[in-house]
Amino acid sequence: MGDLDLRHHTAAEATPLVDDLVAVYRQVYANGGEFHSEDRYRRQLAAHMTRDGWNLVTATAGGELVGYIYGFPLPAETGWWAGIEPPVPFGFAEETGRRTFAVSELLVLPRWRRQGVARALHDQLLDRRTEDRATLLVDPENDVARRAYDSWGWRHVTHLTPSWDDAPRFMVLVRQPSPAEPVT
């Protein structure tokens, strides 16, 4: 992992990278079915890139994109929580535009897994965040991802089924900054 280059990108900076981002997505979800189709992902990515505060961190090695992570702060009027399953703590889904950072994708090419790339991307993105908490959705059957998120301080709160066509049921995970991580 010594020659790994991590870089932050705004939506404008990421626009020329979209085809490369999609290529990584297609490799990661090669057998993902219709929900993980290229067309659906291109639409998702395009919609997410319009969000205020959208941020992408890429990992490259030798000029090759080997993984990335992106997310954005949830606006006060967000649809992110649509499909959430009760019970959830009172006020859990209330947003202010500064309360919650949503991690939408964390993808690493198969040959680069188990080398610390996902953790490096994760930390690079979240270490700069000023929101009170972060959230993400994870497939309950993805044991490797669930164990990694558990070890990185995420906790399972509930489940959510997005309103997208053929959307699976996800686990909702939340992470608060640790005492060692100052919130500025």
CB 174 within 8 A of CB 157: yes
pLDDT tens for residues 47-78? 999 999 999 999 999 999 999 999 999 999 99
Rg of the Cα trace of the chain?
16
Partners of residue 7 on adjacent β-strands: 58
DSSP 16: G
CATH number of 4-175: 3.40.630.30
CB 4 within 8 A of CB 59: yes
Rounded to an integer, what distance in angstroms lies between the CA atom of residue 83 and that of residue 85?
A: 6
- Share the mean pLDDT of the chain: 92
How much is the pTM?
Answer: 0.91
In terms of Cβ atoms closer than 10 Å to its own Cβ (0-12, 13-18, 19+), residue 129 is buried
Place of tokens 């006060």: 76
Rounded to an integer, what distance in angstroms lies between the CA atom of residue 175 and that of residue 169?
A: 20
pLDDT tens for residues 10-58? 999 999 999 999 999 999 998 877 778 899 999 999 999 999 999 999 9
CB 158 within 8 A of CB 88: yes
Longest dimension (CA), the chain: 48
List, as own/partner pairs, every contact residues 21-30 make where C-beta atoms lie below 8 angstroms and the sequence separation is at least 24, other chains included. 21/45, 21/56, 21/65, 21/68, 23/65, 24/65, 24/66, 24/67, 24/68, 24/107, 24/109, 25/105, 25/107, 27/109, 27/110, 28/107, 28/108, 28/109, 28/110
Domain boundaries, the chain: 4-175
CB 52 within 8 A of CB 76: no
Q: What pLDDT score does 3 carry?
A: 87
Q: What pLDDT score does 128 carry?
A: 85
